[in-house]
Amino acid sequence: MSVWITEAEVVRLMDMKGAIAALDHGLALEAAGKAENMVKTHAIWGGHHTLHAIGATFADEGFVGTKTWAHANGAAPLLILFDSHNGSLRAIIEAFALGQLRTGAISGLATKYLAAEGACDMALIGTGKQAMTQLAAVAAVRPLRRVRAFSRDGVARADFVARASKALGLNIEEASSVAQAVDNAAIVTLVTRATKPILASGMLAAGTHVNAVGAISPERTEFEPALLSRCAAVVADSVPQVQNLSSEFMQYYGRDEAKWGAVRPLSAVVSEGRGRPAGADLTLFKAMGMGISDLALGIEILRRASEQRLGREFPHPQLVKLFA
């Protein structure tokens, strides 16, 4: 039998700290050569609608799989897990909440390794669908005393501050500009749909860690590329995807392979157990989204579902001969 796990069950089975721990384990496996990403692919129709597929292999763990979704005024992503030994279908997991958890958790994991130990003042730029989990993830790894949030829509910003303050129990303030939000902040998370740089290098105080999460395709840009010149550590979840899809990185590093050597995978940082160099000016983590992240969470969710007897079993697909 295979199992179908719903959105409600995902939320019941996985919290942010659990998601960060699952990613920590998954990236350690990647560093050891025991997990590998499938190249992300997508197709476009109607000018702006998109069909996506990402995936990964965790062969020694017994799983391979893909996450796929169509974005057309909404989305219904599904994570499909197969047995790595015989190709059988293990599970289908409704993956909207899972995607939000892994997108937040990867920033939390990067913050755990790259932000200063005493960092407690955060700026959140962008208050859309991913903002709550981004904030929750940083709060899971650092004791935040103050958060300043900014987005262009004042009404949406005020609504987010009210909801997030109640949901997370944090001291959250509205900022009137990006510059005001990031002033002396030790942690800055960008999660916007900006197409022009909104964060300038000169806005950031020495010692800041930046999570750049929103710009995952070439037409989007959140920070000015010159900011990278101040970074003592530049880290990405997937270096190949940054090379192919991040306009900020492509503008700064160009086609110089030697310069690209400065960009390290987060898995290497996790494997070493440390990431922030002593006396670092800035550090930056760039998240693009990768299959290893989705599968790391999906495998743990399936394990917990099995323990708690959650999920709906359904018959495994059976082969039928086309010709007798």
Query: Domain check: are 207 and 146 in the same one?
Result: yes
Planar angle of CA 89, 95, 101, nearest 5 degrees: 130
- How far is Cα 211 from Cα 287, in angstroms, rounded to an integer? 8
pLDDT confidence of 180, banded at 50, 70, 90?
Answer: very high
Residue 256 pLDDT: 87
Task: Read off the tokens for 38.
Answer: 């499938």
Give pLDDT, residue 174: 97
CA 259 to chain CA centroid, nearest Å: 24
Which residues are 248's β-sheet partners?
none
**Domain membership flag for residue 68:** yes
pLDDT tens string 31-43: 999 999 998 888 9
- Asked if residue 94 and residue 202 are part of one domain, the reply reads no
Compute φ and ψ for 41, nearest 5 degrees. Answer: -135, 155
183 is written with which tokens? 């002033």
For residue 80, the SS3 value is strand
How sure is the predictor about 48, in pLDDT bands with cuts at 50, 70 and 90? confident
Query: Average pLDDT in the 286-290 region?
Result: 94
Note the pLDDT of residue 38.
92
Percent of the chain with pLDDT over 70: 100
Domain of residue 48, CATH code = 3.30.1780.10
Three-state SS sequence of 9-63: HHHHHCCHHHHHHHHHHHHHHHHCCCCEEEEEEEEEECCCEEEEEEEEEEHHHCE
For residue 121, the tally of other CB atoms under 10 A from its CB is: 20
| Number of structural domains the chain divides into | 2
Within this chain, do residues 91 and 181 fall inside the same structural domain, yes or no? no
Res. 292 pLDDT band, cuts 50 70 90: very high
Give the residue among 214, 27, 216, 206 at the shortest CA–CA distance from 110: 27
Q: How far apart are the first and last CA of the chain?
A: 26
Mean pLDDT of the chain: 95
Q: Does 322 map to a domain?
A: no
Q: What is the largest CA-CA distance in the chain?
A: 73
In this predicted structure, the answer to whether residue 273 has a pLDDT above a threshold of 80 is yes
Instruction: Quote the CA–CA distance of 146 and 140 in Å, as a whole number.
Output: 14
Shared-domain flag, residues 76 and 140? no
Q: What whole-number distance in Å separates Cα of residue 261 and Cα of residue 255?
A: 11
Tell me how long the chain is.
324
**Alpha helices (runs of H) in 55-196, residue ranges in sequence order:** 96-114, 131-141, 154-168, 178-182
Mean pLDDT along residues 78-104: 97
- Considering the domain architecture, whether residues 267 and 280 belong to the same structural domain is answered as yes
pLDDT at 324 over 80: no
pLDDT tens figures, 124-141: 999 999 999 999 999 999
Stated pTM of the model: 0.93
Taking 80 as the threshold, does the pLDDT of residue 107 lie above it? Answer: yes
Residue 103 in this model has a pLDDT that exceeds 80:
yes
Task: Say if residue 276 is in the same domain as residue 301.
Answer: no
For residues 237 and 126, membership in a common domain is answered with yes
Question: What's the domain range around 28?
Answer: 2-99+291-314
Token pair 């987005």 in the structure block, residue: 151
